Amino acid sequence: MGRLLSTDEVDPRERLAYWNEAVSDAYVQLDCDAPGGDVVGDIQVDSLATLELSRVTSTAQRVHRTPSLIARAAEDYFLVSIQTKGVGLVSQDERTAELRPGDFALYDSTRPYRLAFDGDFQQYVLMLPGPALRSQLRDAPGLTARGVRGARGAGHLMIEMIRTLAADIAVLEPAAAAAVAQSVEHIVVAGLSSLGTQGVPEPSTVARREQVKACVRARLRDPGLTVASIAAQLHTSVSTLHRAFVEEPYSIAEWIWARRLDAVRADLCNPALRHRTISDLAFDWGFVDASHFSRAFRARFARTAREVRAGGEAGAGGVREVADLW
- Model confidence at 65, pLDDT cuts 50, 70, 90, reads very high
Report the distance separating Cα 20 and Cα 133, nearest Å: 27
Q: For position 200, what pLDDT does the model report?
A: 42
Q: Which amino acid is at 292?
A: H
Q: What is the mean pLDDT of residues 137-161?
A: 79
Q: For position 133, what pLDDT does the model report?
A: 80
Per-position DSSP letters for 121-151, written without gaps between them: EEEEEEEEEHHHHHTT-S-GGGTTT-PBPSS
Q: For position 1, what pLDDT does the model report?
A: 58
pLDDT beyond 60 at 202: no
Please say whether the beta carbons of 50 and 312 come within 8 A. Answer: yes
Q: For position 50, what pLDDT does the model report?
A: 74
- Model confidence at 196, pLDDT cuts 50, 70, 90, reads low
**Most confident region among 38-52, 79-93, 130-144, 301-315 by mean pLDDT:** 79-93
Q: For position 89, what pLDDT does the model report?
A: 96
Residues 6+ apart with CB under 8 A from 322: 290, 291, 294, 295
Q: Is the model more confident about 199 or about 209? A: 209
The overall average pLDDT reported for the chain is 84
pLDDT beyond 70 at 317: no
Q: What are phi and psi of 138, to 5 degrees?
A: -70, -40
- Model confidence at 8, pLDDT cuts 50, 70, 90, reads very high
Report the distance separating Cα 176 and Cα 296, nearest Å: 23
Q: For position 57, what pLDDT does the model report?
A: 97
pLDDT beyond 90 at 268: yes
pLDDT beyond 80 at 225: yes
Q: What is the mean pLDDT of residues 143-147?
A: 89
Report the distance separating Cα 177 and Cα 306, nearest Å: 16
Q: For position 199, what pLDDT does the model report?
A: 44
pLDDT beyond 70 at 323: no
pLDDT beyond 60 at 318: no
Q: Lowest-pLDDT range, 100-109, 135-144, 218-227, 294-303?
A: 135-144
Query: Domains of the chain by range and CATH?
Result: 3-193 (2.60.120.10), 203-314+321-325 (1.10.10.60)
- Model confidence at 326, pLDDT cuts 50, 70, 90, reads very low
Q: Which amino acid is at 22?
A: A
pLDDT beyond 60 at 325: no
Per-position DSSP letters for 67-87, written without gaps between them: HHHHHHS---EEEEEEEEES-
Q: What are phi and psi of 316, to 5 degrees?
A: -65, -20
Q: What is the mean pLDDT of residues 286-290?
A: 92
Q: How many CB atoms lie within 10 A of CB 158?
A: 24
Describe the crossing of helices 290-301 and 252-268 by its angle, rounded to 10 degrees. 90
Q: What percent of the chain has pLDDT over 70?
A: 91
**256-261 CB contacts, 8 Å cutoff, 24+ apart:** 256/216, 256/220, 256/225, 257/296, 258/132, 258/135, 258/300, 259/216, 259/217, 259/220, 260/220, 260/285, 260/286, 260/287, 261/296, 261/297, 261/300, 261/301
Q: For position 32, what pLDDT does the model report?
A: 96
Edge to edge, the sheet with strand 113-117 lists: 31-33, 61-65, 113-117, 88-92, 95-99
Q: For position 313, what pLDDT does the model report?
A: 38
Q: Is the model more confident about 305 or about 139? A: 305
